[in-house]
Each structure stands twice: as structure tokens, then as C-alpha cells.
Amino acid sequence: MAIAVRLRWCLQIFMLEACVVLTHAANLDYLRSTLTNYFSDTRHHAVKPEYKQRTATFIHDEFIRFGLETTYHNFVFDGVEYANIIGVLKGDNFGTYDDQIIGVGAHYDTVNVTKGVDDNGSGSAALLEVARQMTSLESKRKHTVIFTAFDREEYEYATFDGRFYGALGSKYLISQWLLPWIQKNYPQTVGTFSPYGIIVLDTLMDYNNSARSQIIPPDSLQEFQQLFPGVVKNLQSDNLQGDFLATIFRTQSDSRLANEFHQQWGKMGRADYEIEMFGLAPNLPDDVLNKVADLNRSDHINFWAKNIPAIFLSDSANLRGKMQDCYHHTCDSLEVMLNDDNLNFLAKTSDTIAATVDKLSQSYAAVSGAPGVGKTVLTLMTASSICVFLIQTASRL
């Protein structure tokens, strides 16, 4: 038989395998339809309460559809009722000393004047995509995973009595739901609990590879240089392109999570979608920290405050490209934010989160024959051996 025919078989088998592998990759249609149908208009209690409620119900129902143990955590602030949504994927170690919980969280609310597609529809869409991916494979895992959609991260009045009122949903979630839940389910571990931590997603899809589309705030350039010399050098030698995902973490407490995420990012392909690691050393002086407060502006700070590891992923919001004008404005909209590059960038981030959480939670194929990771590797090996055989026999003819 002609070698060309055999090579074609070979190619077909590989294409089949590529399809199997692709079931692990982000579903662009799901990301697109989630953003379009549920995260393209204001989600604010006073401006569009029905739209916000509808989005919350969608997240809740999706969590249930994915088989997560799902619950609302309601809280009241300043006379208004808010709702966090929580979905738990129990690992084999649930309830025992050995469980090392991993969280993924994003806020789904917006300020009162924006459509909030990038801030933070993108993080919420990634949150759902990660949950979808991780539950669509028939795999089990050793460690428990918690998915959380936070309410009331946003605020319009910063300081009516001199205090910070952002990121309230995660703050109340930790004190009113998470800590009591740990106490109830892991009573023997009190005081020794060591979770891997949580990956916080906020504003993820503004990819921009034009020169000078990334801003480093001029009045804190010196501090950024002092804290992250490698990052600043990379950006400057790259013409300040806004073509990377920023990963913010504390070198002392969050490195396990940050390093794994960084490694998985490297394995995902699309090297043009870059990553920069902003590792904060311990015991930095307050005056320096205050100058880089942009690293401080999402739900991760509440986990840090409770000594729970957390890494914060962001496109840097108003410091980049179109979000310079659209951040917290009407043009953070589908028309401006939803394009192929942004969607693929969001897909790479979702895939990396899923791979990171899969790895750290020690997932394994549940049933032999199920389309888990193990089976994919096995079929890939089979396919390659068949191909080697075909090529060898063909070359002998």
C-alpha cells in the first residue's frame, strides 16, 4: 500500500486523538454565551436588580448542573441583602486532616454605571468554565475544591467614614460561611488546617499587544522597579505591551499555588499570551506597599488578612489598553471587549486554572474506561505505536 495512504491514516488517528485532548480545553462557545447572556449588563442591586438576580440564579443553577454541592450565602450590608454563591466539589479526603482545599473565586457584581464585561464578567465566566471542565471529565480527586462567586466586591462610595468598603462579599464569606464550615466539617484540624489556598479572578480578558498599551503608574514606577525588577525589565524590553496575565502573590505564603500556576501556563501553548509574576516579599515597608495599592484591589486581600494563601489574577484593568477608558464605564461592554483575541486569552487562563486545580487536588480517572486524563494518555500512546508500525511497514514496501 502506498506510503501516502498510510501516512493519511496516521494523520487521521492523530486528529482523532487531538479531539480527545481538546475535550480538556476551554469551550469558547460556553465562554462566549455566558458572557453574552449573563455578564453583559450592569449587575448592581440598585440599578438593575432583576438582571443581577438572574445572573446569580444562573451561577447557582450551573453549579448544580455540574454536580457541585451548591449553596447561597446571604449577608446584609447597609440595609441591602447580597448573595455569595458557593459550590463544593468534595475530594476523597473531605473531612479529614489530609484534605488540602483549593478555591477558585470571582466576583459577579459590578459598579452602578458599567456593563462589567471585563470587570468582572470575565472572571465569572472563567470560574464557570473551570467548574464545567473539571466536572465534565469523569474524574475523582483527593482534595476538595470550592468554587465561589462573590457579591458586593464593587462599591461606589470608598470612604464615607474613612474605611474601605470594597470586597465585602469575600470578607463576609470567610467569617460567616468558610470558617464555620471548616469548623463543622474538619473539627479535628482546628488550628492546623493548611489549605492550598484560593485563586482569585478579577478582570481577565483585556489582551493588547500594541506597543505602550500597558501602563505602569508613573508615580509608583520606582516602587514597582524596587519590588519587581524582573517584571519591569521584561515590560520595558517588550515595548510595554499589555499582552500578559498578571499574577500577584506573596512569596512567603502563596508560592506553592503561584509556582504551579506558572508552570501550567507554560504548558498551555499560545506563547504570545504571556504571564508576569508579581511576587511580594514579606515585611515590606508600608510606604512602599501603599504606592502599589493596585495589587491590592480584589477579594484576595481578605484571604491574606486571615492567613489563607491566595493568588490574584488580573489583566491590570484600567492600566491597560481599552480599559484605560472603559474601566467602571459603559464601554466595558460586549461590543468593545468581546473579540477573538480576548476570548482566547480568557480561554488560556481558564485552562491553566483547571490544570492547576486538577494537579493540586490530585485528580484521577474515576472509572477505568472513563474519558479521564489516564485514558487520554493511554490512547495517545496506542495511537503513536500504531503510527510507528504503519510508517515502518510502509517504508519496507
Ligand X SMILES: *[C@@H]1O[C@H](CO)[C@@H](O)[C@H](O)[C@H]1NC(C)=O
Give how far Cα 344 sits from Cα of 32, 120, 224, 318, Å. 10, 17, 28, 20
Q: Which of residues 287-346 bind ligand X (CB under 6 A)?
A: 289, 292-293, 295-298, 301, 314, 317, 321-322
Q: How far is the CB of 156 from ligand X (least distance, A)?
A: 4
Q: Is 220 in the site for ligand X (CB under 6 A)?
A: no
Q: How far is the CB of 284 from ligand X (least distance, A)?
A: 7
> 227 or 390, CB closer to ligand X?
227
> 94 or 155, CB closer to ligand X?
155
Judged by CB under 6 A, the stretch of 10-18, 74-82, 105-113, 387-395 that binds ligand X is 105-113
3-state SS string for the chain: CCHHHHHHHHHHHHHHHHHHHHCCCCCHHHHHHHHHHHCCCCCCCCCCHHHHHHHHHHHHHHHHHCCCEEEEEEEEECCEEEEEEEEEECCCCCCCCCCCCEEEEEECCCCCCCCCHHHHHHHHHHHHHHHHHHHHCCEEECCCEEEEEECCCCCCCCCCCCCCCCCHHHHHHHHHHHHHHHHHHCHHHCCCCCCCEEEEECCCCCCECCCCCECCCHHHHHHHHHHCHHHHHHHHHCCCCECEEEEEEECCCCHHHHHHHHHHHHCCCCCCCEEEEEEECCCCCHHHHHHCHHHHCCCHHHHHHCCCCEEEEECCHHHECCHHHHCCCCCCCHHHHCCHHHHHHHHHHHHHHHHHHHHHCCEEECCCCCCCHHHHHHHHHHHHHHHHHHHHHHHHC
Q: How far is the CB of 254 from ligand X (least distance, A)?
A: 12
Judged by CB under 6 A, the stretch of 66-74, 94-102, 108-116, 183-191 that binds ligand X is 108-116
How many residues bind ligand X (CB under 6 A)? The answer is 32
Q: How far is the CB of 202 from ligand X (least distance, A)?
A: 4
Judged by CB under 6 A, the stretch of 1-9, 83-91, 155-163, 366-374 that binds ligand X is 155-163
Mask for 45-64, x = binds ligand X (CB under 6 A) = --x-----------------
Q: Which of residues 70-99 bind ligand X (CB under 6 A)?
A: none
> 169 or 321, CB closer to ligand X?
321
Among 91, 103, 166, 169, binds ligand X (CB under 6 A): 166
CB 199 within 8 A of CB 104: yes
Sign of the alpha-carbon torsion through 119, 122, 123, 128: positive
> 79 or 191, CB closer to ligand X?
79
Strand partners, 378: none
Among 113, 268, 334, 373, binds ligand X (CB under 6 A): 113
> 10 or 343, CB closer to ligand X?
343
> 208 or 264, CB closer to ligand X?
208
Mask for 174-213, x = binds ligand X (CB under 6 A) = ----------------------------xx----x-x--x
> 90 or 291, CB closer to ligand X?
291
> 99 or 299, CB closer to ligand X?
299
Q: How far is the CB of 82 from ligand X (least distance, A)?
A: 14
Q: Which residues here bind ligand X, judged by CB under 6 A?
A: 47, 111-113, 119-120, 153-157, 164, 166, 202-203, 208, 210, 213, 280, 286, 289, 292-293, 295-298, 301, 314, 317, 321-322
